[in-house]
Amino acid sequence: MIDVNKTGRKLLQRHETYLVLLILVFSAIIANASDAFLTSGNLLSVLRGGSGIGILAVAFFVALIGGGIDISFPAIAISGQYIAIRTMLALQLDSIGIAFLISITVGIVFGLINAFFITRFRIQAMIVTLATSSLFHGALLEFVGTDSVNVGRLPTSITDFGRMTVFQFQTAEGPQGLSIFVGILAVVVLATWFLLQHTMLGRGIYAIGGDAEGAKRAGFNVTRIQYFIFGYVGFLSGIMGIIHVALIRYAHPANIVGDNTLLRVIAAVILGGTSITGGRGTLTGTMLGVLLIVLVDRHLIMLGVPPAWTNFFVGVVIVVGVVATHLRMKFEKHRRGELTVERAH
Amino acid sequence: MAEPILEVRNISKSYAGVQALRDVSMSVAPGEVRCLVGENGSGKSTLIKTIGGAVVADAGEIVIGGTSFGSSVHPVEAIRHGIQIIYQDLSLFPNLSVAENISLNGMIEQSRRLANWKEMRRIAQDTLDQLDENIDVDMPLDHCSMAQRQIVAISRALTQGAKLIIMDEPTSAITAEDVSRLFKTVRQLNAQGVAMVFVSHKLDEVFEIADTVTVLRDGQKVGDYPAQELDEDKLTFLMSGQNLEFKPFTFDPEAEGAPLLLETRALSLRDQFSDVDLKIYGGEVVGLTGLVGSGRTELALSLFGLNPADHGEILVDGKPVKITGPQDAKRYGISYLPEDRHGQGLFEDQTIADNVVVTVIDRLREFLGLVDNRKREGVWRQWIERLRVKTPSAQNMVSTLSGGNQQRVVLAKWLAPEPRVFILDGPTIGVDVVSKARIHDVVQELARSGIGVLVISDEVTEIMQVCSRALVMQEGRIVAEFKDLQSVDGSEISKVIAREENAEVVS
C-alpha cells in the first residue's frame, strides 16, 4: 500500500525533485528555441561530453561527504593523463589498458600524498590540496614537459577508445551509439553508491563528515578512512584523465587545470544539494547537478547567448541554485520550529 | 549484596600541580542508581573520565566486574566490560539516521565490512522497544528532539552490552516533562539489572532518582549517603562545606522613589512578541519567565539591539530612543548577558583579563589609540576581585576555568562598562548550587547599587530567590505580573507558565 499523500510530501521535501523540475524547464526552453536539441545525436553527445565532469563530480562528492574539500583533482587528472601519454609514446606502448594503469597509479599516488599531509599534520584538506595542486602541476611541467601531443601523434588505442560504444542502434541520421565514457561513469556511480551506502567504510565516510571526533570515539579508524577518501579521489581523477584525452584527442599539460573544470565540478556538486560542511548529500543529486551544468554549458548558444557570455550565465545558474538551496533549508528548519533569530556577532 | 559492577579504589590524579582527585573510592552495584554530585571543579568529570579510560590516574585501582585493571583502563576494555559513558554532547551523528546512530558502534566492534541496513534497523527497533520508546528509526538524528537524542544514546549503549551507564548532566538540556520520561527509562533499565551513574547539578532531581548519593568536594570524597537521608540543605552543606542562606529580595520602586530607567510601550516584533509594556526601575530585580519560545529571549535580544523590534517604543530615562544594534544599547547603558556563554559570551582561547576588558576597550585608550595597560589592569583586577573568580592568574586562558568561574568572567565582562540596566539571560544554567548562590548574591548587590536588573530564567525557584518582581510571557505577550514575590507561592507562577491559569494576574 502506498500512501500517495505521504509520498508526495516526501517528494516535495527532496532536493532532487526541484533539480529535475529545473532541468525539465530548462530543456523545454531550449527545445522550444532549437530543433537541434531533442535529437538523439545531440543528447548522446551531451552524455559523452559530460561523463568526465561526472566522474570528477563523484570524486569531489565523496571527499565532501567525508568533510574535506579536495580541489587537486584537475591537477591529478592532467598529471595522470599526460604522464600516461608521454610514457606510451616514449616506450612505444599502445594499449588502452596501459594508459589507464599508468594514469590511475599516478592518481592514487598523488591522492595518498594529499592524505599524508591531511592526516599527519591535521591540516584542512582545502589548504593541503591548494598547495599540492600547484606542486603536482608544477612538477609535471618541469619533469615531464610542456609539448602538446595532437591527434596525429596520439597512440591509436586512445583514439579507438574514444570511438567505442556500449550500445548501438539505427536512426534516421544513421547508426549511433552510447559512448563507453557513459558506461564507465555508470559503473563508477554504481560502485560508489554501493560503497557509500552498503559498506562500513562508506558509513564511516558519512560519520566523519558528520562529526570527526565522534567517529573516532565510535571506533572508526579515521586516518585509514581519510587515506581511502583521497586515494579514491586520485583513482577517479586518473580515470577521467584518460577519458578526457580520448574525448578531445589532444594532450597538453595545461588542459583540465586551465579551463573551467574545477568550477563546473564544484558547482555541480553544490547544486546537487551536498552540504559544503560535509556529511550530507546524495549521488543522485550530484548527477542531476552535473546534468544541469552540462546542459547549460553546451546549450546557451542555442538560445542565442554569445559564447563569451556562457560563463556569466553558468554563474547565474550557480548563484540562483545555491541561494534557493539555502532558503529551502532555512524554511525546513523553520517548519521544524527551530529558533531562527538572526544573531549578530 | 551482589558483586559490584564497578569499584574504584583510592584514585588520585593531578593536572599541572592541581590535585583533581585525591584518594577517591566508589563502588556501584548492579541495578543501582547512583548520583555523583559536587561543585564545579570538585573532580566529578575527572572521576568519570578515569572510569571510562579517557584519563589515566596517577594512583589507585579500577575493578570492573571483578577484573582489576590497575590504575588505568583502556577505553576499549572499559566498553568490553560493560561501562558506557554518555557525555553531555552525546557523541551522536546529526547527519545519520536513528538506526545507524544506535547500531553503528556495535557493528564497528564486530569489524563488519558491509553495512546491513535491515539488521541495523532491527537492532535499533528492538532496543527502542525494550525501552518502550516510539522513535522512527529511519528519521535523521537532526530531526530528533534533545530528549529523543538521549534515548538514542542510551539505546546505543545498550547495544554494546552496557552494564553500567554513566550520564554526564543529562537533565540540563531537556524540559521537566522529558526528565520524567528519562527517569522512567532509567527505572526500567534498573529493573533489568543495568546500573546508572548520574552526574548532576539539580538537587531536586537527585532526590527523585537516586538510591545513593556520592558527594565530592575539592577532589576528595565527602561520603556516600542514602538519598532518603538527605535534603537540599544537607546536600548543599556537604557539597560546599558551608551553609548557604537564601535571602529574599524585596524592593518597592514607588515607595523608594526609584528612577524609571527603561520602559517599552507596545513593543512588537512580528512572529516573536507583541504589545510588550515593560518597566525597569533602578534598584529592582525583575524576573521574566515563560516557556521556551514564549518570546522572552527574543524580547531581551531586542532590548540589546540584536533583534530590533519593528513596532512600539523604547524609552531610556523617559526619552524615546532607537536601539538597532548593541552599540546603541551600550551607549544607553544597557548590558546583556547571553544565554549561551560558550557561543556568545566568551572568547575561550583568550586570557581572563582580556575577556573582562573587551567591553570597555574604547575607554582604555590613551593618545595614539593604544591601550593604557595600567588602566586595563585596574579594570580586570577590580572585577575579578568583586566577583571572586577563582584562578591562579588572570593571564590564564578562560578555557582553563570551571563552568561556575567562567560564568563569573562573563558577568565581569558585561559589568565592566558599568551598565545602568543589566539583562541576564539564564545566568545560572549549568552551574552548581554554590556558584548559583554566589551569582544570586552578586545580582542583588548590583540592584542595591542602583542598577535595574532583568533576570530571564526557566526556574521558578530561581525567580523567587533572586527577584523582587516577576513577569510571565506566553506566546509573545506578557500575561501576568507578580509585584510582590514574598506574598505569592511559586506554584501560582508555575501554573501561569504552563497556561493552566490564563487570566491577567496581578498580585
CA distance A100 to chain B (A): 28
CA distance B231 to chain A (A): 38
Compute CA distances B503 → B223, B266, B279, B471, whole Å.
48, 19, 20, 13
Note whether residue A35 is domain-resident. yes
Size of interface A-B (CB pairs under 8 A): 71
Q: Report the alpha-carbon angle B230-B235-B237, nearest 5.
A: 130
Least confident of A168-182, A264-278, A304-318, B454-468: A304-318
Question: Which is more confident, B238 or A324?
Answer: B238
A197 interaction partners in chain B (CB closer than 8 Å) = 115
Asked if A343 has any chain B CB less than 8 Å from its own CB, the reply is: yes
Note whether residue A314 is domain-resident. no
| 3-state secondary structure at position B308 | coil
CA distance B105 to chain A (A): 5
Residue with the three cell numbers 581511502: A228
* Chosen from B86, B108, B298 to mutate, greatest number of chain A CBs within 10 A: B108
Interface contact flag, B91 A213, Cβ < 8 Å: yes
Over residues B427-469, the pLDDT tens digits come to 887 777 777 887 888 889 889 989 999 999 988 888 888 999 9
| Model pLDDT, residue B196 | 94
Note whether residue A12 is domain-resident. no
Mean pLDDT of chain A: 90
Q: Which three cell numbers stand for residue B263?
A: 520602559
| Model pLDDT, residue A342 | 37
A340 interaction partners in chain B (CB closer than 8 Å) = none
| Model pLDDT, residue B235 | 85
Asked if A200 has any chain B CB less than 8 Å from its own CB, the reply is: yes
**pLDDT of A114 above 90:** yes
Whether B404 and B373 have beta carbons less than 8 Å apart is answered as no
Interface contact flag, B95 A210, Cβ < 8 Å: yes
Residues B466-500 as b or e (16 or more Cβ within 10 Å = b): bbbbbbbbbebbbbbbbeebeeeeeeebbbbbeee
What CATH number is associated with residue A44? Answer: 1.10.3470
* Chosen from B76, B93, B330 to mutate, greatest number of chain A CBs within 10 A: B93
Tell me what the mean pLDDT of segment A187-199 comes to: 97
Q: Count other Cβ atoms within 10 Å, centred on residue A213.
A: 11
Of B95, B112, B307, the CB nearest to A200: B112
**pLDDT of B504 above 60:** no
Note whether residue A155 is domain-resident. yes
Q: Report the alpha-carbon angle A290-A296-A297, nearest 5.
A: 85
Least confident of A110-124, B102-116, B424-438: B424-438
Segments forming the whole domain that contains residue A148? 25-306
| Model pLDDT, residue B330 | 87
Q: Which three cell numbers stand for residue B24?
A: 577517591
Mean pLDDT of chain B: 87
> What strands lie across the sheet with B83-86, from one edge to the other?
B83-86, B164-168, B195-199, B33-37, B212-217, B220-226
Measured CB to CB, residues of chain B less than 8 Å from chain A are 76, 91-96, 100, 104-105, 107-109, 112-115, 117, 143, 272, 293, 297-298, 301, 306-307, 325-326, 344
User: What confidence tier does A2 reach under pLDDT thresholds 50, 70, 90?
Assistant: low
Note whether residue A111 is domain-resident. yes
Interface contact flag, B95 A220, Cβ < 8 Å: no
- Of B465, B401, B468, B419, the residue nearest B439 (C-alpha): B465
Q: How far is CA B388 from the centre of its chain?
A: 20
| Model pLDDT, residue B500 | 62
Asked if A198 has any chain B CB less than 8 Å from its own CB, the reply is: yes
Residue of A nearest to B110 (CA): A219
Q: Alpha-carbon distance A185 to A247, whole Å? A: 14
Q: Alpha-carbon distance B158 to B169, whole Å? A: 19
Question: Which is more confident, B127 or A315?
Answer: B127
CA distance A65 to chain B (A): 10
**pLDDT of A149 above 60:** yes
Residue with the three cell numbers 529545473: A22
> What strands lie across the sheet with B421-425, from one edge to the other?
B334-337, B421-425, B452-456, B285-289, B469-474, B477-482, B505-506
Q: Whole-model pTM? A: 0.77
CA distance B114 to chain A (A): 4
Q: Alpha-carbon distance B319 to B325, whole Å? A: 18
Asked if A300 has any chain B CB less than 8 Å from its own CB, the reply is: no
Q: Alpha-carbon distance B357 to B334, whole Å? A: 17
Amino acid identity, position B273: F
Interface contact flag, A199 B108, Cβ < 8 Å: no
Of A213, A220, A279, the CB nearest to B108: A220
Q: Alpha-carbon distance B17 to B1, whole Å? A: 39
* Chosen from A199, A201, A211 to mutate, greatest number of chain B CBs within 10 A: A211
**pLDDT of A139 above 60:** yes
8-state DSSP, B67: E
Q: Count other Cβ atoms within 10 Å, centred on residue B206.
A: 21
| Model pLDDT, residue A3 | 61
Amino acid identity, position B351: T
- Of B146, B147, B124, the residue nearest B137 (C-alpha): B124
Q: Which three cell numbers stand for residue B454?
A: 532583568
What region, left, alpha or beta, does residue A250 occupy, with left being phi > 0 and alpha being psi -120 to 50 degrees? Answer: beta
Interface contact flag, A220 B96, Cβ < 8 Å: no
Packing angle of the helix pair A40-65, A261-271 (nearest 10 deg): 80
Asked if A6 has any chain B CB less than 8 Å from its own CB, the reply is: no
Asked if A209 has any chain B CB less than 8 Å from its own CB, the reply is: yes
**pLDDT of B403 above 80:** no
Q: Alpha-carbon distance B406 to B431, whole Å? A: 10
Stated as kind and residue range, the H or E segment containing B455 is strand B452-456
Q: Count other Cβ atoms within 10 Å, centred on residue A45.
A: 14
Q: Count other Cβ atoms within 10 Å, centred on residue B251.
A: 20
Whether B312 and B272 have beta carbons less than 8 Å apart is answered as no
Of B95, B115, B293, the CB nearest to A200: B115
Question: Which is more confident, B312 or B175?
Answer: B312
Residue with the three cell numbers 599502445: A94
Q: Alpha-carbon distance B360 to B333, whole Å? A: 12
Residues A91-120 as b or e (16 or more Cβ within 10 Å = b): eeeeebebbbebbbbbbbebbebbbebbbe
User: What confidence tier does B228 reach under pLDDT thresholds 50, 70, 90?
Assistant: confident
CA distance A214 to chain B (A): 5
CA distance A234 to chain B (A): 23
- Of A233, A229, A243, A230, the residue nearest A81 (C-alpha): A243
Compute CA distances A57 → A136, B32, B173, whole Å.
20, 54, 40
User: What confidence tier does A137 reach under pLDDT thresholds 50, 70, 90?
Assistant: very high
Q: Alpha-carbon distance A84 to A87, whole Å? A: 5
B91 interaction partners in chain A (CB closer than 8 Å) = 211, 213-214, 217-218
Q: Count other Cβ atoms within 10 Å, centred on residue B13.
A: 23
What domains can you pick out in chain B, each with its CATH number? 6-240 (3.40.50.300), 244-333+419-507 (3.40.50.300), 349-418 (no CATH)
Of A197, A206, A214, the CB nearest to B91: A214
- Total number of domains in chain A: 1
Note whether residue A4 is domain-resident. no
B104 interaction partners in chain A (CB closer than 8 Å) = 203, 207, 218
8-state DSSP, A199: B
Residue with the three cell numbers 533583534: B307
Q: DSSP letter string over B188-243?
A: HHHHTT-EEEEE-S-HHHHHHH-SEEEEEETTEEEEEEEGGG--HHHHHHHHHSSP
